[in-house]
């Protein structure tokens, strides 16, 4: 197995799986890669099919480019677990540029987990509009209720965090790494791309079970919470993320060779798009104190107006009722006295 890139000298050539040079790495400024390698691999025995030299090379590659590729976002300048949790949830399915605009506004409206726990569902959904995947907002609110009921204290281990609504393994690991600087197995899409490109350049259908071994082995041990040294869980995982983003800009997306890879379906015109439109219609009606009862027929009329303006065909009232019943089952809305409302 060959490592995807070799770094030597000031300009580094990125080599794809077929051995052709496809891009040039930015000039490195980091000088602590050797100590990082020693620190990260000290005592590491469970490294699967890769040799220690191969993992040493991977760490060297990433650490050499860490400073140059580093992306400075506001959520990277805090250790507040609440703020980091919100950023991790937002980043799950939303482009970083959009999150950068919305994260600060969210914290201004809901500055603490206790303030969020006291918010109305409609206010939380309104604040989430434009982020997509509205169910994330409901999960955030449910989790805020639980944490606030326990004194506003966040769990500090992945095992505890994944018990909370909407927090999966990657989100839990991200909170532990970025808020607490704790060793974790943080496997998200950009990290997955790095490992596939570097350690599995020729394989297809690579499972996350195979990758998680390397993620865990490569992550440094727990470090002081405020430390920003490269050989800490926080900065190491930032370096992996940034390198993964850089890879996707210069080579064919390595994540496509993951067994868990699925191509995102088209949003416009989809069932999901119409559900989101109905949530927005209900929110707008509430905000405007609309005197009209939001009957299924009224909701259908407003949704059809949007569909026609977008150049799509109108939808039936039966279909709108199906959508609204789905939203009610997922606690987006209620139906009372003949009217739908959030």
Chain-centroid distance of CA 271 in Å reads 23
Would you put residue 181 in left (φ > 0), alpha (ψ -120 to 50) or beta? Answer: left
Query: Which residue in this structure is represented by tokens 């995982």?
Result: 237
**Element at 341 (helix H, strand E):** strand 339-341
Verify whether residue 88 is a known catalytic residue: yes
Reduced to 3 states, what is the DSSP secondary structure of residue 21?
Answer: strand
Quick count: other Cβ atoms within 10 Å of Cβ 311?
Answer: 8
DSSP codes of every residue in 193-248: HHHHHHH-SS-SSB-HHHHHHHHHHHSPPP--TT---TTSHHHHHHHHHHHHHHHH
Q: Which of 88, 198, 317, 326 is catalytic?
A: 88
**How far apart are the C-alpha atoms of 210 and 335, rounded to whole Å?**
47
C-alpha torsion sign, points 83, 88, 89, 90: positive
* Stated length of the chain: 342
CB 211 within 8 A of CB 192: yes
Backbone angles phi, psi at 172, to 5 degrees: -60, -45
Q: Where are the alpha helices (DSSP H) in 17-134?
A: 33-41, 52-69, 81-91, 96-109, 113-117, 121-128
DSSP codes of every residue in 280-293: HHHHHHHHTT--S-
CB 187 within 8 A of CB 173: yes
**How far apart are the C-alpha atoms of 303 and 276, rounded to whole Å?**
10
Cα Rg of the chain (Å, integer): 23
Query: Which residue in this structure is represented by tokens 């040079």?
Result: 21
Catalytic residue annotation: 88
């Amino acid at each position: 197995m060959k490592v995807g890139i070799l770094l030597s000298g000031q300009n580094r050539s990125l080599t794809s799986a077929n051995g052709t040079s496809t891009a040039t790495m930015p000039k490195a400024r980091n000088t602590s890669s050797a100590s990082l390698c020693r620190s990260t691999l000290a005592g590491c025995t469970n490294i699967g099919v890769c040799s220690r030299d191969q993992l040493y090379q991977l760490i060297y590659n990433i650490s050499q480019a860490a400073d140059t590729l580093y992306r400075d976002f506001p959520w990277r300048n805090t250790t507040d677990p609440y703020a980091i949790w919100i950023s991790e949830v937002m980043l799950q399915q939303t482009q970083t540029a959009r999150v950068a605009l919305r994260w600060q506004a969210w914290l201004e409206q809901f500055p603490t987990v206790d303030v969020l726990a006291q918010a109305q569902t409609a206010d939380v959904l309104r604040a989430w509009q434009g982020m997509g995947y509205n169910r994330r907002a409901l999960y955030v609110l449910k989790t805020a209720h639980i944490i606030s009921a326990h004194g506003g204290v966040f769990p500090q281990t992945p095992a505890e965090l994944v018990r909370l609504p909407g927090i999966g393994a990657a989100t839990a690991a991200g909170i532990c790494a970025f808020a607490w600087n704790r060793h974790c197995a943080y496997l998200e899409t950009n990290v997955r791309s790095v490992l596939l490109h570097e350690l599995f350049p020729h394989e297809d259908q690579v499972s996350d079970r195979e990758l998680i071994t390397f993620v865990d082995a490569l992550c440094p041990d727990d470090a002081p919470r405020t430390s920003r040294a490269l050989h800490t869980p926080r900065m190491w995982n930032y370096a992996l993320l940034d390198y993964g983003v850089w890879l996707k800009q210069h080579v064919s997306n390595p994540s496509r060779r993951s067994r868990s890879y699925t191509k995102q379906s088209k949003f416009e015109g989809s069932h999901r798009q119409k559900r989101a439109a109905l949530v927005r219609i209900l929110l707008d009606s509430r905000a405007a104190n609309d005197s009209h009862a939001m009957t299924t027929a009224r909701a259908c009329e407003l949704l059809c107006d949007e569909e026609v303006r977008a150049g799509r065909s109108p939808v039936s009232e039966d279909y709108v009722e199906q959508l609204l019943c789905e939203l009610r089952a997922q606690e987006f809305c209620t139906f009372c006295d003949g009217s739908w409302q959030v």
